[in-house]
Amino acid sequence: MMNPRILIVDDEPSIVKMLHMVLQKEGFEQIYTAGSCRAALDALDRHGADIVLLDVMLPDGSGFELISQIRTRGNPHVFFLTAKVSDLDKLTGFAMGGDDYITKPFNPLEIAARIKARLRRTDSSAVAGLPASPSSSSPSYDFGRFRLFEASGELYVGDALVSCPAQVFQLLLYFCKHPGILFSKTQLYEAVWGIDGFGDDNTVTVHIRRIRERIEADPSAPKHLVTVRGLGYKLSKEYLRR
């Protein structure tokens, strides 16, 4: 994506100013700002967004609650920016649909690096939330219970189209491209998130769980995306249909 739309949602003017300045210097041009939940939704209605940098604690509500309304206006990548640093807060952020979780204070150049890495790994139609239909000519992966269409960014479980946030889709796509291969959490983070050393175990763990909630008949007893204790995860080749 050559010119992504970035929305910064934070009520601290110094943080907004710093992020805006650094992102502009890094080559991003379409940058919008909002200091509240209401202003964020207004900005989304006017401009849309491909990336949302979202504070958790806002004057008129919580970023955790706002994300569900953001998803009704498209499917941007959402990066939580917050001073809430506990593991529970991070897990809540991912469970609510966030794609990344960055704690304050942070280096704004790290934010720019994460945005660039995310955009490199996501098809522009999936980032913008544009509708598309699978076709027989698009790359696809059929594991019986579920089918993944790379070009259209769609996941079907049975005959039902299942909503799949961008980063969940990218992680599942990586597994589909490497069936039967065992990956550690570190390998998955570096391959899918694209930045060495910025991730943690919770990021991968939560996204694995979100995949299982979509593709497994019983997410607590997975048959497709399985855990190899102490080593990592792999997508079983047993169900792959050629």
pLDDT tens digits for range 45-89: 999 999 999 999 999 999 988 998 998 888 888 999 888 777 777
Sign for the CA dihedral angle at 7, 13, 15, 21 comes to positive
Q: Give first-to-last CA distance, the chain, whole Å.
A: 32
* pLDDT in the model for residue 125: 39
DSSP notation for 134-161: --TTS-EEE-SSEEEETTTTEEEETTEE
Cα(140)–Cα(230) distance, rounded to whole angstroms? 31
pTM (two decimals): 0.62
Coarse DSSP helix, strand, coil percentages of the chain, rounded to the nearest 5 percent? 40, 20, 35
CA 240 – CA 177 distance, rounded (Å): 11
Work out the burial of residue 215: count CB atoms within 10 Å of its CB; fewer than 13 is exposed, 13-18 middle, 19 or more buried: buried
Burial class (CB in 10 A: 0-12, 13-18, 19+), 82: buried
Dig out the tokens for 19 from the structure.
């992020």
Class of domain 133-239 (CATH, top level): mainly alpha
Three-state SS at 33: strand
CATH 3.40.50.300 fits 5-127, yes or no: no
Taking CB atoms within 8 Å and a gap of at least 24, the contacts of 61-68 are 61/36, 61/37, 63/9, 63/37, 64/92, 64/93, 64/96, 65/37, 66/9, 66/37, 66/40, 66/41, 67/96, 67/97, 67/98, 68/96, 68/97
pLDDT at 196: 58
**Closest Cα partner for 97 from 75, 114, 113?**
75
Residue 82 pairs in a beta bridge with 103
Domain definitions of the chain by residue range: 5-127, 133-239
Residue that is written with structure tokens 């001073």 in the block:
83
89: CB partners within 8 A, 6+ apart:
56, 82, 101
Helices (H) and strands (E) in the chain, counts: 9, 13
d(CA 170, CA 108): 24
pLDDT at 74: 83
Q: In the chain, which residues have pLDDT < 50?
A: 123-137, 197
* Side-chain half-sphere exposure of 151, counting CA atoms within 13 A: 8
